[in-house]
């Protein structure tokens, strides 16, 4: 069995490769070539946490099989521990034997950033210059890297409910990416005039207002993954011209910000055009003008984990990285 730490993954696989792998994963999912049960989500009220189990199998020449065990423990930050610890188990599709074990925390960050990057690449205007990032938790850096991988941004505004944390994050990221990072004291200052808006929080109320969004903006909803959570305001969902999900069943089962307006009759199911994989496969049309507002929502899917993990293992073996156990 191959064991890959975060550093092994970083040294064997780039964000660009992860974006392409995510596109391939969702392409196969939308084409019916993947078996992905909805994840099992176990509440752990005593620790204010949740434990999730995400299995998947992808058919085809590059078949992939695996399960990711991921927990969401927001209180871990106070203990200086990851708030989203995870482990990825890769199995050989031909034998069912475990072939690799990966740092699932970093894998989650990488493939989640990458799926937003894939959507931004396909839906955002080509001439985007200003990005807005709401939330500076464990997922934030990969979200930022993905935006900067697919678009040449001149400035990224950073907002967090803790301004000091936003300022520190902006300072660190400016050194990493050599792009102007501006911490903002309000969500409005962050969002107004931005070409790409990415929200990655566990908020139970919208993280910005619809009237702050300019024409032609692209919005990514990344953080809300339960029916109680809500990042994207329903008014912008109604106003948007194009709304695409990573997986239709996943979002309509788990994402409160898109379930609630549908349940209330505020929007109709046909307002949700379809899946990113359908866009990749040419079955859907995305943005058709620079004036349109586009929205992408992801709740994550094990199909992303198994395909990206399988590609990482392949690259790591080529480069002789990791530890054989």
Domain boundaries, given as residue ranges, for the chain: 2-108+303-324, 125-300
Quick one: pLDDT at residue 138? 86
Q: Give the DSSP letter of residue 286.
A: -
Q: What is the total residue count of the chain?
A: 325
Q: For the whole model, what pTM was predicted? A: 0.92
Quick one: pLDDT at residue 38? 77
Write the DSSP assignment of 223-263 as a string of letters.
S--STT---S-HHHHHH-SEEEES-HHHHHHH-HHHHHHHH
Counting residues of the chain whose pLDDT is more than 90, the rounded percentage is 92
Q: Confidence band (pLDDT; 50, 70, 90) for 94?
A: very high
Q: Confidence band (pLDDT; 50, 70, 90) for 41?
A: confident
Could you tell me which residue, 238 or 226, shows the higher pLDDT? Answer: 238
Q: Which entry of 68, 129, 263, 314 is annotated as an active-site residue?
A: 68
CA-wise closest residue to 242 among 209, 210, 218 = 218
Task: Summarize pLDDT for 144-156 with one digit per residue, the tens.
Answer: 999 999 999 999 9
What kind and span of H or E run contains 132? strand 130-134
Quick one: pLDDT at residue 92? 94
Task: Summarize pLDDT for 244-259 with one digit per residue, the tens.
Answer: 999 999 999 999 999 9
Same CATH topology for 2-108+303-324 and 125-300: the answer is: no
Q: Confidence band (pLDDT; 50, 70, 90) for 80?
A: very high
The yes-or-no verdict on residue 236 having pLDDT over 80 is yes
Q: Confidence band (pLDDT; 50, 70, 90) for 37?
A: confident
Quick one: pLDDT at residue 244? 98
Q: Which of 62-71, 94-103, 144-153 is the least confident region?
A: 62-71
The yes-or-no verdict on residue 62 having pLDDT over 80 is no
CATH number for region 125-300: 3.40.50.720
CATH topology of domain 2-108+303-324: ornithine cyclodeaminase, domain 1 (3.30.1780)
Mean pLDDT of the chain: 95
| Annotation marks residue 68 as catalytic | yes
Task: Summarize pLDDT for 184-231 with one digit per residue, the tens.
Answer: 999 999 999 999 999 999 999 999 999 999 999 999 999 998 899 999
The yes-or-no verdict on residue 60 having pLDDT over 80 is no
Buried b (16+ CB within 10 A) or exposed e, 47-58: eebbbbebbbbb
Q: Are 246 and 273 in contact (CB under 8 A)?
A: no
């Amino acid at each position: 069995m191959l064991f890959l730490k975060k550093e092994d993954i970083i040294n064997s696989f780039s964000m660009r490769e992860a974006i392409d792998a995510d596109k391939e994963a969702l392409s196969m999912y939308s084409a019916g070539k993947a078996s992905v049960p909805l994840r099992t989500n176990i509440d752990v009220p005593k620790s204010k946490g949740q434990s999730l189990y995400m299995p998947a199998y992808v058919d085809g020449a590059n078949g992939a099989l695996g399960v990711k065990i991921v927990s969401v423990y927001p209180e871990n930050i106070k203990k200086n521990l990851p708030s989203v610890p995870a482990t990825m188990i890769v199995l050989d599709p031909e034998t069912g034997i475990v072939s690799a074990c990966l740092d699932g925390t970093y894998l989650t960050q990488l493939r989640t950033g990458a799926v937003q990057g894939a959507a931004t690449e396909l839906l955002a205007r080509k001439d985007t210059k200003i990005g807005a990032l709401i939330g500076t938790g464990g997922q934030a850096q990969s979200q930022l890297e993905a935006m900067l991988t697919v678009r040449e941004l001149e400035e990224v505004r950073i907002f967090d409910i803790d301004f000091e944390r936003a300022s520190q994050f902006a300072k660190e990221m400016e050194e990493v990416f050599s792009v102007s990072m501006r911490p903002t004291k309000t969500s409005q200052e962050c969002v107004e005039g931005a070409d790409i808006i990415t929200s990655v929080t566990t908020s139970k109320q919208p993280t910005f207002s619809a009237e702050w969004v300019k024409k032609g903006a692209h919005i990514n909803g990344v953080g809300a993954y339960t029916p109680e959570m809500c990042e994207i305001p329903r008014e912008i969902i109604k106003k948007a011209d194009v709304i695409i999900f990573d997986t239709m069943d996943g979002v309509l089962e788990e994402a409160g910000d898109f379930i609630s307006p549908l349940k209330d009759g505020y929007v109709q199911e046909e307002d949700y055009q379809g899946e990113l994989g359908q866009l990749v496969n040419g079955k859907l049309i995305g943005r058709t003008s620079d004036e349109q507002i586009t929205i992408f929502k992801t709740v994550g899917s094990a199909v992303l984990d198994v395909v990206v993990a399988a590609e990482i293992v392949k690259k790591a073996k080529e480069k002789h990285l990791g530890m054989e156990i």
